[in-house]
Structure 1
Amino acid sequence: MPAAPSTAVLFDIDGTLVDSNYAHIDAWWRAFLAIGESVDAWRIHRAIGMDSAKLLEELLPDASHETRDTAKQYHSAYFAEHQPRLRLLPGARELLQAVAEAGHAVVLATSAPEDELVRLRELLDAEHWITAVTSSEDVEQAKPDPGIIQVALRKAGVDADAAVMVGDAMWDVESSGRIGVTCIGVMTGGIGGDELRGAGAAEVYDDAAAVLAALRAGDGPIAALADAA
């Protein structure tokens, strides 16, 4: 049997591999209206990628737990309406393939709930390249808490200094940095490069296709990971 990979690349999914962030924004915006709250869409966008409990604390600071739970249920229902229209972002599937073929473990390091994750994995159609997957079932708190990243490393069987994270939000960058994982930022989630760099991203690219181009050229953190292995 071939040896298990000693290095890993961890991938956020929403906004990084799948063009779903704006679907989440719409679903939350409609959910808040359904419970009689009005939250500006730009504020929702700023919180996308956070653990849903933290997002609700941030956006509905005075709401009861019951009200927040109701909003979460509405969000799930409204987001489900978007799922048939979700699409992959440029280079997403090809990047997973290239990373796997380079000998790294491919880990989907997401806190998406299981019902959403099923659809996202179907869309990626990359099961034969994936070593491990996390979900909301793995931790009590998601990003920016580093728990998901720690679970992803444990499932891959690699140390933090032998891994690279790819994500689209400050929360991906911050959670990775808290445990010493180098993070690549992509701008497909709608967050600018300066902000991602300010949060600690080692490199920022437009999208997964640009990350793939850098890897093929032997540049960037993923290529360096191969050199260090």
Structure 2
Amino acid sequence: MPKAAIFDIDGTLVDSVDLHARSWQETFAKFGHAVTFEQARSQIGKGGDQLLPVFLSQTEQDDHGEEMEEWRGQLFKSEYMQLVRPFSTVPELLRRIRDAGLKVAAATSAKKSELEIYLEIAGITDLVDVATSSEDAEQSKPAPDIFQVALKKLGLDGADAVAIGDTPYDAQAAGKAGIPTIGVLCGGFTETDLREGGCIAVYPGPGALLACFDASPLGR
């Protein structure tokens, strides 16, 4: 039996991936870069430090990368955050996990201020024992830093936890920290994407994971 479940947030517990992609697309256009919605969406799950190098040269990053990240953050908070909605049965899933004796952690590439709002939106602020955000890590996903910080806060080794995420970047980051990952399809990546990223099991979303809890890697 694992001792903790470590959740990604965006696309896993709250429906925000398309909103992040739109805000990034708008930001790239603002700064003169032609990036499509689909291109931006394919990188959601990474923090800005990992996303920007996909589309910008090092010179462009040095020139206006930091300004872009700040502008995108403000845009998301002012225009898109209010549109974020939770996926169904998220509180019920976390309660089931806690009833099974596991700790619950949140590990996200989002900023701490965003994380706190997401937990409120999902109705799980009181159900999360440990939370880590991009401010806790030198590099965001798919680097393992955020998961390593979560493990340190939990006082556990990677093999004692299970990660739950919606992107291959979650699985890659968790895998580097020695944590097996359950994938969920509600963030928009395919089962093939998730399994190739390293997921050991894949479910449609939080509700399906709850329904199959006893047979899942969380309940074994």
Asked if TM exceeds 0.5, the reply is yes
TM-score tier, shorter chain, comes to: over 0.9
Quote how far apart the aligned CAs of 1:124 are: 2.1
Does residue 25 of structure 2 align to residue 29 of structure 1?
yes
CA deviation string 1:89-133 (max 9, x = no partner) = 122221111111111000001121122122112112223221110
List alignment gaps of at least 5 residues for structure 2. Answer: none
Q: Structure 1 segments of 4 or more deviating over 2 A?
A: none
TM (norm. structure 2) is 0.94
Q: Does the 8 Å CA contact 1:109/1:134 hold for their aligned counterparts?
A: yes
| AA of the residue aligned to 1:125 | G
Q: 1:59 aligns with which of 46, 49, 55?
A: 55
Query: Is the contact between residue 44 and residue 59 of structure 1 (CA under 8 Å) also seen in structure 2?
Result: no
Does structure 2 retain, via aligned residues, the 8 Å contact 1:12–1:109? Answer: yes
Paired with 1:91 and 1:203, the residues of 2 have a C-alpha distance of 19
Give aligned pairs, total. 218
Question: What is the correspondence of 1:1-229 to structure 2 with a 5 Å cutoff?
Answer: 7-61=3-57, 63-80=60-77, 81-215=79-213, 218-224=214-220
User: Which SS does the other structure have where 2:164 is aligned?
Assistant: strand
User: CA offsets per residue over residues 167-220 of structure 1, 9 Å max, x none?
Assistant: 0011100111122211000011110001111111000111111111110xx201
Question: What amino acid sits opposite 1:67 in the alignment?
Answer: H
Could you tell me which runs of 5 or more consecutive residues in structure 1 were left unpaired when the two chains were aligned.
1-5, 225-229
CA distance in 1, matches of 2:99, 2:72: 37
Q: Distance in 2 between matches of 1:184 and 1:169?
A: 10
CA deviation after TM superposition for structure 1 residue 74, in Å: 2.1
What SS is found at the alignment partner of 1:222? coil
Whether the aligned pair in 2 keeps the contact of 1:8 and 1:162 (CA below 8 Å) is yes
Query: What is the alpha-carbon distance in structure 1 between the residues aligned to residue 143 and residue 17 of structure 2?
Result: 20
Q: Secondary structure of the residue that 2:181 maps to in structure 1?
A: strand
Cα deviation, residue 15, structure 1: 0.5
The aligned amino acid for 1:160 is: G
Following the alignment from structure 1 to structure 2, what is the Cα–Cα distance between the partners of residues 124 and 90? 9
For the aligned residues, what is the CA RMSD?
1.5
Q: Quick one: which amino acid aligns to residue 66 of structure 1?
A: D
Percent identity of the aligned residues? 35
Report the Cα distance in structure 1 between the residues aligned to 2:61 and 2:5, rounded to whole angstroms: 39
Q: Residue type of the partner of 1:119?
A: I
Looking at structure 2, the residues matched to 64 and 149 of structure 1 have their Cα atoms a distance apart, in angstroms, of: 26
Q: Distance in 2 between matches of 1:87 and 1:130?
A: 18
TM-score by length of 1: 0.91
Letter in 1 for 2:180: T
SS in 1 for 2:212: helix
Asked whether the 8 Å contact 1:187–1:204 carries over to 2, the reply is yes
State the secondary structure of the residue aligned to 1:50.
coil
